[in-house]
Amino acid sequence: MKKLGGVRLSHHKGTQDFKTVRLPLPKTVVIPMVMNMGAPCTPFVKPGDSVLVGQKIGDTDAFMSVPVHSSVSGTVKAVSDIKLANGRSCKAVTIETDGNQTVSEEVKPPVVNSKEDFVSAVKQCGLTGLGGAGFPTHIKLCPKTPVDTLVINGAECEPYITSDYREMMECPDDIIEGIRLILKWLNIPKAYIGIENNKPEAIKLLTEKVEKYPEISVYTLPSTYPQGAEKVMIYNVLGRIVGEGQLPSDQGVIVSNISTAAEIHRYIKTGMPLTERRVTVDGDIVSKPCNVIVPVGTSVREVLDFAGCDTERLKKLILGGPMMGMCGFDLEAPLGKSSNAVLAFEKISEPKETNCIRCGRCIKACPLKLMPTELEKAYHARDIKALQKLKVNLCMNCGCCTYVCPASRKLAEINQLAKALLPRT
């Protein structure tokens, strides 16, 4: 099996040994109606309504979406438009907390007797992939083709982020039970938990935990970025290639983030939907880097203040990892379901772009064996045919090419711009 490209990054996992702490309840939360890929939800509540923890406050009929629940108990102050980090705007519900965190009566364990019940329960949990991309989980659980393997993604290949690692160290039983639920209801015979070898403690712990379940094994991955990319993980764990235009299920695989699996178990057991999540807070001006449990809708500022970040010095705010995360532009922006990290930096380097020297490092680094240097030329020439031939549509924006480029060319960025030139199919 040929090795895929990728890059070795400094891990910066300074928060990995800190036990997760809980954020003091914020005074207000702003809960966006879009926190996942897919359709936006319509808010049910209006200003003045009181809401409870776990109460559904927004939903949609669209299949490619999940409902939104209140993460706090309190009073709705406003339903307004906000701008998200990706530049889009959506409706959001502002709730003033009452401090009691009274749990809604809606919160009760779902009755699951069939695959349909299970999938619907996962949807009602409001669950989206907790790894960062925010793909609605229930859709993954409805493959159109037979699936023989579940791959649980515990790679956490981005620098700084340790929220999945803390999940593995603190809630290994939830993870295992979540995996068993998926295996049971989807009738999948085998599960692999893929973990990068820079997390030996997690590998050891989970290997012990899965000993009594022969259908689950832990698979050690090399710690080269991007192990956690779906296609890369499937290739490295199973040797299967997810082809162009295919879903993992076309190769008989479902990939799920490890914290997502644990969340499935917690919901089935307690009925408490996804209203809070673990967020890694780190960066060069964060004096108390930590992993913190944050109610959905908490502002970035709240989390940074808690971690002792001097926001006056803040120059760059990254939501997610440094390789694929998005820049935040507003400290009041709320954290959603897929926010796995908040990174605050004062020192930022913006190296000057120089001529391509055709060193080929980008080609070697690309895990999908694309040719970023050629793609860049084709993009500047607006050569659509060449872009198609070079398969720019396969680029997953992992950023390896930009990372390794000695001429500091913005190759990954160009690829995303180039994709926009392709005719819609």
Residues that bind other proteins (CB under 8 A): 4, 7, 9, 159, 231, 235, 241-246, 312-318, 322-329, 345, 348-351, 354-361, 363, 367-371, 373-374, 388-391, 394, 397, 399, 402-408, 410, 412-413, 416
Closest distance of CB 397 from other proteins, Å: 7
Closest distance of CB 88 from other proteins, Å: 15
Using the minimum distance from each CB to other proteins, give the nearer residue, 187 or 416.
416
Closest distance of CB 324 from other proteins, Å: 5
d(CA 324, CA 229): 11
The candidate with the shortest Cα–Cα distance to 296, out of 27, 100, 31, 78, is 31
Using the minimum distance from each CB to other proteins, give the nearer residue, 172 or 328.
328
Using the minimum distance from each CB to other proteins, give the nearer residue, 37 or 407.
407
Closest distance of CB 253 from other proteins, Å: 13
| 18: phi then psi, degrees, rounded to nearest 5 | -90, 130
d(CA 13, CA 62): 38
Residues 52, 102 contacting (CB under 8 angstroms): yes
Residues 154, 258 contacting (CB under 8 angstroms): yes
Using the minimum distance from each CB to other proteins, give the nearer residue, 42 or 354.
354
Give ∠ CA 282-134-232 in degrees, rounded to 5.
85
Using the minimum distance from each CB to other proteins, give the nearer residue, 169 or 396.
396
Using the minimum distance from each CB to other proteins, give the nearer residue, 4 or 182.
4
Written as six digits, the tokens of 259 are: 């914290």
- Sorted by sequence, the CB contacts under 8 Å of residue 208 that are 6+ apart come out as none
Sequence-ordered strand ranges (E) for 248-386: 253-257, 276-282, 290-295, 316-319, 326-328, 341-345
Residues 167, 278 contacting (CB under 8 angstroms): yes
Closest distance of CB 152 from other proteins, Å: 22
Closest distance of CB 141 from other proteins, Å: 23
